[in-house]
């Protein structure tokens, strides 16, 4: 998205300069440069990420009920070309660790605890994220009987849409949602749309790196943050146009 914005500004600038439309072309070039510098040097991603992540910075204390559901959202898989083996992508580790930590804490109380892992196979590697993550969690010590795998969702909206009937069928007294802090606002918005009032626990928190020269890490974080803001904005636009599925009345506190 960031690269697309930079590309469009440069193209528009070229067109305006080519057809001699006053100073408009140079203004577009200037905006592209400012956007590139602010993104790459860390100013823009730092501001965007602060507003996205700050509400979820502090992990809440979880009071476990007799029946609990811990929902872990997938973030992708990777495939090793030489072997064809599919595993969690590099950013998935924190979500798996946090999901396991919560599951272990829940089991320590003697409560009934289900770990719901949500994620399909958007990259068509042949294995759903939920299945891949479930195998890792089982090897970490999660009881296979406590795993519930949602293997069809291809995005965050479908995560919420397809997990909702699983939550409804299990009927937990307490639901915990685990994802990255940068992703939490969009996930919370979608899960609440489908009637799931979950306790929000971040798996990780990312920071920009202020530098004098632009770097790829800051550019990637800008792209990530813009993706989240656009996702929430799109949700509200679709709601206004009546394109979203109707909100659910079901709740799982």
Q: What is the pLDDT of residues 147-161, one digit of tens each?
A: 999 999 999 999 999
Q: 33 in a domain, yes or no?
A: no
**Summary mean pLDDT of the chain:** 94
pLDDT at 13: 84
Q: What is the mean pLDDT of residues 81-107?
A: 95
Q: 93 in a domain, yes or no?
A: yes
- pLDDT confidence bin for 252, thresholds 50/70/90: very low
- Residue keyed to tokens 């580790």: 93
Q: 78 in a domain, yes or no?
A: yes
- pLDDT confidence bin for 250, thresholds 50/70/90: low
Q: Structural domain of residue 190, as residue ranges?
A: 54-207+236-241
Q: What is the mean pLDDT of residues 175-193?
A: 98
Q: 223 in a domain, yes or no?
A: no
CATH number of the domain that 108 lies in? 3.40.50.620
Determine contact, residues 69/112, Cβ cutoff 8 Å: no
Number of domains in the chain: 1
Determine contact, residues 101/79, Cβ cutoff 8 Å: no
The yes-or-no verdict on residue 173 having pLDDT over 90 is: yes
Q: 136 in a domain, yes or no?
A: yes
Q: 187 in a domain, yes or no?
A: yes
- pLDDT confidence bin for 102, thresholds 50/70/90: very high
Q: 79 in a domain, yes or no?
A: yes
Q: What is the mean pLDDT of residues 102-120?
A: 97
Q: 161 in a domain, yes or no?
A: yes
Judge residue 127's burial from the number of C-beta atoms within 10 Å of its C-beta, 0-12 exposed, 13-18 middle, 19 or more buried: middle
Task: Tell me which residue of 181, 198, 182 sits closest to 190, measured CA to CA.
Answer: 198
Long-range (24+ apart) CB contacts under 8 A made by 215-222 are: 215/40, 216/40, 218/39, 218/40, 218/41, 218/42, 218/45, 219/2, 219/39, 219/40, 221/45, 221/48, 221/49, 222/2, 222/39, 222/44, 222/45, 222/48
């Amino acid at each position: 998205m960031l690269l697309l914005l930079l590309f469009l500004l440069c193209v528009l600038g070229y067109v305006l300069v080519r057809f001699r439309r006053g100073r408009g072309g140079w203004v577009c070039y200037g905006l592209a440069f400012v956007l590139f510098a602010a993104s790459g040097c860390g100013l823009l991603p730092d501001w965007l990420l602060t507003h996205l992540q700050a509400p979820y910075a502090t992990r809440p204390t979880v009071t476990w009920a007799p029946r609990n559901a811990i929902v872990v959202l997938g973030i992708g898989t990777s495939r090793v070309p030489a072997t064809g083996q599919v595993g969690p992508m590099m950013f998935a580790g924190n979500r798996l660790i946090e999901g396991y930590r919560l599951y272990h804490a829940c089991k320590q109380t003697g409560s009934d605890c289900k770990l719901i892992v949500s994620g399909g196979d958007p990259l068509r590697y042949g294995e759903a994220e939920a299945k891949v993550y479930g195998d890792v969690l089982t090897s970490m010590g999660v009881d296979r009987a406590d795993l519930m795998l949602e293997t069809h969702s291809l995005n965050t909206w479908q995560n919420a849409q397809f997990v909702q009937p699983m939550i409804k069928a299990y009927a937990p007294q307490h639901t915990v949602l685990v994802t990255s802090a940068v992703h939490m606002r969009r996930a919370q918005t979608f899960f609440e749309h489908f009637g799931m009032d979950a306790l929000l626990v971040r798996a990780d928190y990312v920071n920009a790196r202020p530098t004098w020269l632009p770097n790829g890490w800051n550019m990637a974080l800008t792209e990530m943050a813009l993706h989240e803001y656009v996702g929430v904005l799109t949700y509200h636009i679709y709601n206004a146009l009546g394109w979203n599925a109707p909100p659910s009345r079901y709740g799982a506190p």
